[in-house]
Amino acid sequence: MALAGVAVWTGQIALAPSAPAATGEHYSDVADAFHSQALKPLPETLNLDPSKVALGQRLFNDPRLSADDTVACSTCHNLAMGGADRQARSRGIGGREGEVNTPTVFNSAFSFAHFWDGRAASLEDQVDGPLHHPCEMGSNWREVIPKLEADPEYFASFKMVYPGGITADNVKDAIATFERSLITPNSRFDRFLRGEVNALSSEEQSGYQMFKSYGCVACHQGVNIGGNMFQTFGVVGDYFNDRGEVGDADLGRFNV
């Protein structure tokens, strides 16, 4: 299903390999060269349990996870707005303003850590952050679990998908599974990386070569063009000395 220019999970759960499976035919030299690139195309599908995806989708859009039943995951991670909210700082229960802006949820499956400062090691761990944060959902599992247990549909769905029923770990697992389904495959750049040379214009291809030759690819690489390592500013030069005074553009970045 297409949504906001991206592909959303539609029930296909076979994992697409990052390179074509071996056949009796040899790949062309061009295709071989593309498969050795530092940047990799996004997989077209992921191997996910469709029942968990469906349950996680409902939870992702349910404001009952918040203290006052007004804020859902999708409130800030709006799939029609690029998986974020287009605000300088996110707003939670009671209109409380957060400390930073909302990162996109799209392709978060490929990040090795989560939040701008990387403090969550997995998507499951990440769920606890906004749920407990006083400026976001301002809630806790002691309040959330009874709300979900009082919903007959949730009660039946969890019993079907998870033998342990409605628990904090199972709620986090379902939400994280849905979030892993939010990938954006088959862009022109993905097709280019798979060897479809004409998928990018000559100007775009020149830009990609500059991106690599200037060293951008040293940090921005892999399947998600970044999000797979921590890097220290100032390896090439004294970043903080050379950049000048802190300005308005830096607001909200101080805990990164």
Residue 182 sits at the vertex; the CA angle it makes with 181 and 188, to the nearest 5 degrees, is 115
Q: How far apart are the first and last CA of the chain?
A: 34
Determine the Cα–Cα distance for residues 249 and 246; give it in Å rounded to an integer: 8
d(CA 148, CA 38): 44
Q: Is 179 considered catalytic here?
A: no
The secondary element (H helix, E strand) that includes residue 6 is: strand 6-7
DSSP-derived secondary structure letter, 199: G
Strand partners, 114: 120
Q: Residue 38's closest CA among 216, 231, 230?
A: 216
Centre a 10 Å sphere on the Cβ of residue 38 and count the other Cβ atoms it contains: 12
Rounded-to-integer distance, Cα 126 and Cα 137, Å? 13
Compute CA 218 distance to the chain's CA centroid, rounded to the nearest angstrom.
21
For the record, the structure tokens of 19 come out as 């390179």
The active-site residue out of 25, 136, 153, 179 is: 136
At 219, list the tokens. 């940090």
Encoded tokens for 177? 């599974």
Catalytic residues: 136
